[in-house]
Amino acid sequence: MNLLSESTLGVYAVFFAAFIVGTTFPHNLVYLPSQIYAVGRPMAEKLSSIGRVLWMGSAFSVLGSVTILVAAVATAAYTSTSATIALTVTAAINLVVSSAQDNLRRILHIAGSHWSAASMSIVQFATVAIALVAMIATDIPEVWIPFGSLICANIVSSTLGLVRAGGFGRWKAPAELKARVLVRSGRWLLAQALIPTGAVFLAATVITSLAGAVAMGHAEAARIVAQPVLVFATGLTAVLGPRVMAAAMSRDERGSRAMLRRFTQLTAVVGVLYLGLAGWETPWNPMQLIVPPAYAVNGLVAATIVANIVFGSLFLRIDELMGARREVSLVKVSLVGSPLLVVAALTAGFTGAFARPLGFLVDAGVRYPGYLHYREKVYREG
């Protein structure tokens, strides 16, 4: 946030959105179906085929990197050729290693090795901090640093994860983990993930076109400051997700409802506390010193945090419907909610950077009743 110019930051935001779109291919076509399969297996078998799954996932990561090329074309007019090359190369490599790292961490949670998964996150944090200091201290151009430091961290963290998982396991996987079976199961999961992430990428491109790269840079800085709310919700989902999936598989409505309620309460409480800490420029706000560009537009950080609280509170409901094998229902909800995110982005001509949090609020407002409707239908049908 502090190294890149505001216009280059806006270009980076588009690349980051494209990176997230790219990760949906390996995650939903390979990693997530294998995780759902592992939830229903005996504890001793949950890590048995991790190497084969990682190999297949990496292949689909290369397919997903095509989205990075789309970002390069879409932003070529807003930055230099050297910056475009740097972001393209580092984002594409990071897509492969980041997806693998995320799967390793999730599968360790599913296998009950929560401290091993947590140690991966700790090592990830420490490595990215060291890499940032080392890269800033050298003559490496700044535009190579954001994704480049994450590449280093993901490689080191994944190595630790493999060690804690006991290696790659058996390469000969059961029939349920064959590529064609996983892809057949994951195609609806891909659709339900690709629609919203694609909408985010399209929205970022629209905001950049209508309000300018500087406005998108302000929105990206605010996104970074507001991100801890989604990090907290994602962390809770990593632990509660397998449990709520299992509850949905067995149609344990009472157990599932209790976890959803606790998840929503914790996300809201932590989000409101963080809003009071970092929402505005106040004497007790450390983020205004760490990320000054985020506060260039008054109220933008607060609006983004509120949007993240609302959107993050839906994460566990997605896992519940996946456990109930209602992937098509998730796609239907995305087909209604995600286009509204892009519609909100079209207001960027007069709302500026606020178009981004506005879009997420509108999207979440549609998703909640949709998820609730299909959840009730699952337990009503038994």
Sign, Cα dihedral of 279, 282, 283, 287: positive
In this prediction, residue 175 carries a pLDDT of 62
Q: At what angle do helices 253-278 and 213-249 cross, to 10 degrees?
A: 160
Provide the residue type at 85 as one letter.
I
In this prediction, residue 285 carries a pLDDT of 92
Dist CA 111 CA 40 (whole Å) = 11
Domain ranges of the chain: 1-177, 212-382
Please give the radius of gyration of the chain, using alpha carbons only, rounded to the nearest integer.
20
Sign, Cα dihedral of 243, 25, 162, 233: negative
State the pTM of this model: 0.76
In this prediction, residue 304 carries a pLDDT of 95
Provide the residue type at 76 as one letter.
A
In this prediction, residue 173 carries a pLDDT of 65
**Could you tell me which residues come within 8 angstroms of residue 163 by beta carbon, excluding any fewer than 6 positions away?**
none
Burial class (CB in 10 A: 0-12, 13-18, 19+), 155: middle
In this prediction, residue 93 carries a pLDDT of 94
SS (HEC) of the chain: CCCCCHHHHHHHHHHHHHHHHHHHHHHHHHHHHHHHHHHCCCHHHCCCCHHHHHHHHHHHHHHHCHHHHHHHHHHHHHCCHHHHHHHHHHHHHHHHHHHHHHHHHHHHHHCCCHHHHHHHHHHHHHHHHHHHHHHHHCCCCHHHHHHHHHHHHHHHHHHHHHHHHCCCCCCCCCHHHCHHHHHHHHHHHHHHHHHHHHHHHHHHHHHHHHHCHHHHHHHHHHHHHHHHHHHHHHHHHHHHHHHHHHHHHCCCHHHHHHHHHHHHHHHHHHHHHHHHHHCCCCCCCCHHHHCHHHHCCCCHHHHHHHHHHHHHCCHHHHHHHHHCCCHHHHHHHHHHHHHHHHHHHCCHHHHHHHHHHHHHHHHHHHHHHHHHHHHHHHHHHC
Contact 217, 6 (CB under 8 A): yes
Q: How many CB atoms lie within 10 A of CB 269?
A: 11
* pLDDT tens digit at each of 382 positions of the chain: 788 887 788 888 889 889 988 998 888 888 888 887 777 666 666 676 777 788 888 888 888 888 999 999 988 888 889 999 999 999 999 999 999 999 888 888 888 888 888 999 999 999 999 999 999 999 889 999 999 999 999 999 999 988 888 777 655 666 666 777 777 777 777 877 788 888 888 888 888 888 888 888 888 889 999 999 999 999 899 888 888 888 888 888 888 899 999 999 999 999 999 999 998 888 899 998 888 888 888 999 999 999 999 999 998 999 898 888 888 888 898 888 888 988 988 998 888 889 989 999 999 999 999 999 988 888 887 6
